[in-house]
Amino acid sequence: MTTALQLDLRAQRAWHALAYLAINVPITILGVIAVIALALGAALSMIGIGLPLLLGAASLCRWLVRLDRRAANRFLDLHVPPVPAAVPTTGTLRQRSHDVLADRALWRMVALLATKPLIIGVLLVVGIVPVILLAVILVLAVQGVAGVDGVDSLGPWQLGVGIGLVLCVLVPAGGVLVIATFEALHSVLCTIGRARLVPRASASGPVRELLAESLGDSTVSIAYWLPDRGVFVDESGARVTLPEPGSGRTWTAVERDGRRVAAIVHDVALDTSMELVQAAAAASSLAIDNERLKADLRARVAELRVSRQRIVEAADDARRRIERDLHDGAQQQLLALALELRVLRSRINGHEAAPLVDGLAERLEVALGELRELARGIHPALLTQSGLGPAVGALAERTPVPVQTAVAIEGRLPAPIESAAYFVVAEALTNVARYAHASQASVAIGRDNGDVVVVVSDDGVGGVDVAAGSGLRGLQDRVAAVDGTLQIDSPNGAGTTLRARIPIPAEARR
Q: Taking 50 as the threshold, does the pLDDT of residue 3 lie above it?
A: yes
C-alpha–C-alpha distance, residues 175 and 373, integer Å: 100
Bridge partners, residue 441, by sequence: 403, 458
Same domain, 232 and 257: yes
**Top-confidence residue, 412 or 316:** 412
Domain boundary among 271, 300, 329: 300
Same domain, 440 and 501: yes
Residue range 143-168: average pLDDT?
60
Quick check: is 110 in a domain? yes
Q: Taking 80 as the threshold, does the pLDDT of residue 501 lie above it?
A: yes
Lowest mean pLDDT segment, chosen from 108-112, 130-134, 143-147? 143-147
Cβ-contact 338, 365 below 8 angstroms = yes
The predicted-structure confidence for 163-184, as pLDDT tens digits, reads as follows 667 667 677 777 778 788 888 8
Please tell me the predicted confidence (pLDDT) of residue 271: 43
C-alpha–C-alpha distance, residues 436 and 413, integer Å: 30
Domain boundary among 256, 275, 300: 300
**Top-confidence residue, 243 or 298:** 243
C-alpha–C-alpha distance, residues 428 and 435, integer Å: 10
Same domain, 416 and 481: yes
Residue range 273-281: average pLDDT?
60
Q: Taking 80 as the threshold, does the pLDDT of residue 161 lie above it?
A: no
Same domain, 279 and 425: no
Same domain, 410 and 295: no
| Signed CA dihedral, 201, 206, 207, 210: sign only | negative
Same domain, 151 and 225: no
H helix runs in 76-160, sequence order:
93-101, 104-146
C-alpha–C-alpha distance, residues 107 and 475, integer Å: 63
Q: Which among 301, 304, 200, 292 is positioned nearest to 253, based on CA atoms?
A: 292
Q: Taking 70 as the threshold, does the pLDDT of residue 326 lie above it?
A: no
Q: Taking 80 as the threshold, does the pLDDT of residue 56 lie above it?
A: yes
Quick check: is 370 in a domain? no
Q: Taking 80 as the threshold, does the pLDDT of residue 361 lie above it?
A: no
Quick check: is 328 in a domain? no
Please tell me the predicted confidence (pLDDT) of residue 317: 64
In sequence order, which residues have a C-beta less than 8 Å from that of residue 457 and are 6 or more positions away? Answer: 441, 442, 495, 496, 497, 498
Same domain, 416 and 501: yes
Please tell me the predicted confidence (pLDDT) of residue 233: 81
Which of 129-143, 479-493, 496-510 holds the top average pLDDT? 479-493
**Top-confidence residue, 347 or 198:** 347
Quick check: is 231 in a domain? yes
Number of domains into which the chain is organized: 3
The predicted-structure confidence for 200-241, as pLDDT tens digits, reads as follows 544 334 666 666 666 666 677 788 888 777 788 877 777 788
The predicted-structure confidence for 238-253, as pLDDT tens digits, reads as follows 778 888 877 777 887 7
Quick check: is 337 in a domain? no
**pTM: predicted TM-score of the whole model, two decimal places:** 0.42
Please tell me the predicted confidence (pLDDT) of residue 272: 46
Burial state string for 102-131 with b = 16 or more CB within 10 A and e = fewer than 16: ebeebebbbebbbebeebbeebbeebeebe
Residue range 450-470: average pLDDT?
82
The predicted-structure confidence for 183-195, as pLDDT tens digits, reads as follows 888 888 888 887 7
Please tell me the predicted confidence (pLDDT) of residue 200: 53
Please tell me the predicted confidence (pLDDT) of residue 209: 67
Residue range 23-40: average pLDDT?
88
Residue range 449-453: average pLDDT?
85
**Top-confidence residue, 345 or 214:** 345
- Quote the mean pLDDT of the chain: 75
Domain boundary among 173, 196, 219: 196
Residue range 479-490: average pLDDT?
84
Please tell me the predicted confidence (pLDDT) of residue 127: 83
The predicted-structure confidence for 10-23, as pLDDT tens digits, reads as follows 788 888 888 888 89
Q: Which among 503, 424, 502, 484 is positioned nearest to 457, based on CA atoms?
A: 424
Quick check: is 311 in a domain? no
Same domain, 152 and 224: no
Please tell me the predicted confidence (pLDDT) of residue 179: 81
C-alpha–C-alpha distance, residues 273 and 106, integer Å: 23
Same domain, 212 and 192: no
Same domain, 390 and 245: no
Q: How many CB atoms lie within 10 A of CB 320?
A: 18
The share of the chain scoring above pLDDT 70, in percent, equals: 67
Q: Taking 50 as the threshold, does the pLDDT of residue 439 lie above it?
A: yes
Q: How many CB atoms lie within 10 A of CB 309?
A: 15
The domain that holds 500 is classified in CATH as 3.30.565.10
Please tell me the predicted confidence (pLDDT) of residue 454: 92
The share of the chain scoring above pLDDT 90, in percent, equals: 3
Quick check: is 314 in a domain? no
Same domain, 451 and 417: yes
Residue range 415-429: average pLDDT?
85
Quick check: is 21 in a domain? yes
Bridge partners, residue 501, by sequence: 453, 485
Residue range 361-373: average pLDDT?
68
Please tell me the predicted confidence (pLDDT) of residue 1: 41
Could you tell me the residue range of the domain that residue 97 belongs to?
Answer: 2-196
Same domain, 259 and 280: yes
Lowest mean pLDDT segment, chosen from 274-278, 365-369, 464-468? 274-278
